[in-house]
Structure 1
């Protein structure tokens, strides 16, 4: 059974080297605690820098250990850098990342499939970089946040990027990002435990209620972390659409758009994953791990254990859907 992990992350060695030298972009620096390197953001967030983020041999060995045939690789979302004030610096950073990731993938024998990062501060630059990444670097799509700082995905500054992805026929992975504090979620790591699924849900809701999915019928979108709360609270969105004037910006009730998205498997339990498949269909669920972050999921067999899905659905989720979604060659 082919396994394609659509949710795992990369960090360019050039960025890590700058942080190690104390001269990282946006104040990034590396600290070592008990022999473990940590990337430290000036906003307060820190995360362990595992060799698999930047070392190809370590990455391929980890894929073998997890029985992963192919990995669709995206930038660590903590490095999206949408908050940089200088749009030219953001554009330069995106080009550096995309070229580094394309080169990283080129040495993998086809086992790593790269998707781009985009300088979303500058709409024109983001559109141009998406086009370059796909047509010149051979990337299979892009990863963007479910918001662009304070702007929702239905904002007029974001829509041209979505339209270009639809025109190019490539999917966009929507991944939450956060390097500072989230009000009310400061303790217990709730900034991630609750904040990340919440951001995915809000991003999807903006796309639905803002009419973006009506405007761009060919747009393909992948929601991380099981789609956040969207599949599980869709009835509430439907009710709001019926009774609230503010929620009538879409042509159909929100549940009609559930299958406009693909959803990764990271739910951390079989019951919600089985429910997700029942809501959206096995053909809209793709295997993901969030590797090498500690909030990730395990190998595909481990994630599907207890879901009671049949072999056909398991094969779709493990890799078949991703082959179709990202236009991969079947192995």
Structure 2
């Protein structure tokens, strides 16, 4: 099979390679990946920033999430069969034609959802539902989402709006209309952010959801109690009293709450935004684009020998 391996740490560390197709061990599922999703975790691993947290024996296949079709199942697997369309997280690395993983890390792709959309959802759905379970706002309250146009931020925003909350979202000016379309009130980053928060939420802010960091917790401490902020990006904010939603990314499972997001998206009740698409042979460029930040939605890479039209993209 065709794959990419991390040959050495650094921006130029990914190299195309070939290998034998990944075969499932007992209790595993093998999936032919038709669409891959790029996460900040991917380029942080590539750069070597997480070498102690996630040790690798190089060269190694990296990549975290994607979608495709089951091609074989190991003994003892129930719930999935050859030919099923699935999405989720992959133990053997997603930058490959075929990857293996545990069934608990997968979900069936519901009818009405394209492969590209399904690939864009696992991390956003799992993370958003998990942090909303860890910090629930008071009913019909005003909340703030930092990085509200990104894949996770826009999912948190939409789920909060669905639950009847008034959402203020931070984003660059180019994404303000997008946030309005999700039902949020947009404000900018940086200087003036706290004044803008005060202006649009004079009654107070009950909770904050930080998906991008950049010292957001410290910046808004005057208007949001740090103990009422949960962050997925700023681990140092725990010292200020914020809730840090960490954990081992290699052990993330697909929960029922996350699977429900796939159903909502298939029915058109949740918007799935794709920031940009790349071909498989452009995968290093896809990581570089993701690393620039300020994205609206998810960067998607078509699987090897897949056209954009094959995965539901024009």
TM-score normalized with structure 2 length: 0.31
Determine which structure has the larger helix proportion and give its number.
1
TM-score normalized with structure 1 length: 0.30
Determine which structure has the larger strand proportion and give its number.
2
